[in-house]
Amino acid sequence: MAKKSILNVLVGVLSQLIVIGLGFYIPRLIILTYGSEANGLITSVVQVITYLSLLEAGVGAASIQALYKHIGNNDKSKINEILTATSSYYRKTGWYYFIAVILISIGYPLVVSSGFSNFTVMAIVLLSGLGGAVNYYFQGKFRVLLLAEGKNYIEASVTALSTIVNNVIRIIMMLNGFDIILVQAVYFVITIIQIIVYQIYMRKHYKWINFKTTPDYQAISQKNSVLIHELSYLVFKNTDVVLLTLFTNLKIVSVYMMYNMIFGVVERVTFTIRDSFKFALGQKYNNNFPKFVRMFNLFESSYISLVFALLTITTILILPFMRLYTSGIEDTNYIDALLPLLFAAVKLLFNARLSSDLVIDIVGHFRKTQWRSILETSINFVLSLILVFPFGAYGVLFGTMVALTYRLIDIVWYTNSKLLKRSSWITYKKWIINLLVSVIIIAVTKQFDFMVTPHSYTMFILDAAVLSVTLVPLFFIAGLLLSRPDAGMLQEMLGPLLAKFKIRKAGRQY
């Protein structure tokens, strides 16, 4: 499990870095080639199509949770029953996906005003949406199995390779002046090839899968409760932007989104790392609870330290980066000393709690905790609505902080008291230790005006690398020194890998 988890992290993070890097370059090239309106059109279409993924939200998480126990016990009969039920759901809702894409493609040109013809807008919507619909219909059930088995690296590898091929071809076509419809068609073609690759892999490695067995619908009966959690999160995630758009001005929205985008990069990396270990904890929970608790304790300590480390580094670097990135832009001021601290607090409260939230997912307490998720969203919306008028971006961030603080206390208590049967102080202590380290580091760097204005991106990257190499180990050491059981568990998990490495090394020397 340790080897598979490490592989998930390495491949997953590398995949995210590739996607993020291309994500910064492609929009600029679209603007230069077809204009800002084209970039706005494609971005808005992708955003709308993304919401269709909610069709999968409930059954995906519910199926993965149901599979953990049977994968841990290698019960292929039960795995087939759950996958058959999952496949049935994907086939049924897959048609809804197709119909929704077609309806959106017809309605979008009538609602959105642009300089493009209705046919062009319709074609862009279809080509952006049909690839996802086909992938959902044919690959959804296989993706669920791979994630439950801990083979995130398979999905990450295919996604990374597809992204590279897709974007390289699109870049070449844009540089040679191809029509925007043909450029978008590349995504659809690559998606079809990606599906073929998945089909070949599954047929080669999973010949035992049988979708004609009796479906176990009871195993995924919590899919609607999971969907409520996902809908609540979707509203929670977009409340700030919607309120700022309605009650302030687009310049404030632009500043907010710039900071949110940068902190969002850290969030994507931490999500990838969290999901890389989820399968191991999920399987261990069902066949060895005492060891699961020990494994989770190590994971929680490491994950909280990592989140604090990355967000501390981001808080220190964000203003120097913003000065470099927005140099020459004079229509609004992007440099704000308070926003990084508020964003850091929001992202810490949300991301560092995900280790506790992970246990709720593994145990499957979706229905029992759904009202808590709804309450969090309600607190955020009401407070942000009240505070947006007098305080703008500061107000909505403060409203989010209050809602997240409530949910953090609630999740940590629920996970420890109800599920792990231990004191919540174990988790709170980790928060306090990492928070103290973070505050001290930020205060010290403020005193020395660390990297006030870097002269180039190369200088910025080098200084950021030095800072990261210094601070990340510092947070981990602080966490492990105060928890000897975690250090012992780490040695126990890495022992077999280190032993294999020493044997191979000795063999090569011999």
User: Distance (Å, rounded) from C-alpha 148 to C-alpha 78?
Assistant: 14
Classify each residue of 89-119 as buried b or exposed e, where b means 16 or more C-beta atoms within 10 Å of its C-beta. bbeebbeebbebbbebbeebbeeeeeebeee
Judging by beta carbons within 10 Å of its beta carbon (0-12, 13-18, 19+), is residue 70 exposed, middle or buried?
buried
Q: What is the SS3 assignment for 215?
A: coil
Contact 43, 196 (CB under 8 A): no
Contact 406, 279 (CB under 8 A): no
Determine the Cα angle at 194 with ends 189 and 199, to 5°.
130
Q: What is the SS3 assignment for 202?
A: helix
| Residue 416 DSSP class | I
Q: How many CB atoms lie within 10 A of CB 189?
A: 14
In tens digits, what is the pLDDT along the chain, a chain of 510 residues? 556 666 766 776 777 777 767 666 776 677 677 776 676 667 667 766 766 766 666 677 778 878 887 887 888 888 888 889 888 888 887 888 888 889 888 888 887 666 778 888 888 888 888 888 888 788 888 888 888 888 877 877 887 788 888 888 888 888 888 888 888 888 888 888 888 888 888 888 888 888 888 888 887 777 777 777 777 777 777 788 778 877 887 677 777 877 887 888 888 888 888 888 887 788 788 788 888 888 888 888 889 999 999 999 999 988 888 888 777 767 678 888 899 999 999 999 988 888 888 898 888 888 888 889 889 989 999 999 999 989 989 999 999 999 999 999 999 999 999 999 899 998 998 899 999 999 999 888 877 665 556 677 788 888 888 888 989 888 988 877 666 666 566 656 555 555 555 555 555 554
Judging by beta carbons within 10 Å of its beta carbon (0-12, 13-18, 19+), is residue 503 exposed, middle or buried?
exposed
> Long-range contacts: 285-290, Cβ < 8 Å, 24+?
285/68, 285/362, 285/363, 286/68, 286/69, 286/72, 286/73, 287/69, 287/72, 287/73
User: Distance (Å, rounded) from C-alpha 374 to C-alpha 227?
Assistant: 12
Whole-prediction pTM: 0.75
User: Distance (Å, rounded) from C-alpha 387 to C-alpha 397?
Assistant: 9
Counting Cα atoms < 13 Å in the Cβ hemisphere of 357 gives 20
User: Distance (Å, rounded) from C-alpha 25 to C-alpha 15?
Assistant: 16
User: Distance (Å, rounded) from C-alpha 345 to C-alpha 338?
Assistant: 11
Which string of DSSP letters, residue by residue, matches 221-281? TTHHHHHHHHHHHHHHHHHHHHHHHHHS-HHHHHHHHHHHHHHHHHHHHHHHHHHHHHHHH
Unique residue bearing structure tokens 């409203």 = 399
Unique residue bearing structure tokens 């086909």 = 134
User: Distance (Å, rounded) from C-alpha 248 to C-alpha 332?
Assistant: 14
User: Distance (Å, rounded) from C-alpha 38 to C-alpha 501?
Assistant: 52
Classify each residue of 364-400 as buried b or exposed e, where b means 16 or more C-beta atoms within 10 Å of its C-beta. bbbeebbebbbebbebbbebbbebbeeebbebbbbbb
User: Distance (Å, rounded) from C-alpha 113 to C-alpha 226?
Assistant: 36
Domain residue ranges of the chain, discontinuous segments joined by +: 1-221, 222-510
Within the chain, what is the greatest distance between any pair of CA atoms?
73
Q: What is the SS3 assignment for 360?
A: helix
Classify each residue of 302-328 as buried b or exposed e, where b means 16 or more C-beta atoms within 10 Å of its C-beta. bbbbbbbbbbbbbbbbbbbbbbbeeee
Length of the chain as a residue count: 510
Helices 484-509 and 289-325, axial angle in degrees (round to 10): 80
Cα torsion angle, 102, 106, 107, 113, sign? positive
Contact 466, 336 (CB under 8 A): no
Distance from the Cα of residue 502 to its chain's centroid: 35
User: Distance (Å, rounded) from C-alpha 256 to C-alpha 421?
Assistant: 41
> Long-range contacts: 385-391, Cβ < 8 Å, 24+?
385/243, 388/243, 388/244, 388/247, 388/248, 389/247
Cα 411 to Cα 357, 415, 461, 463, distances in angstroms:
7, 6, 36, 37
Closest by CA to 41, choosing from 30, 33, 52, 25, is 30
| Residue 214 DSSP class | P
User: Distance (Å, rounded) from C-alpha 495 to C-alpha 474?
Assistant: 23
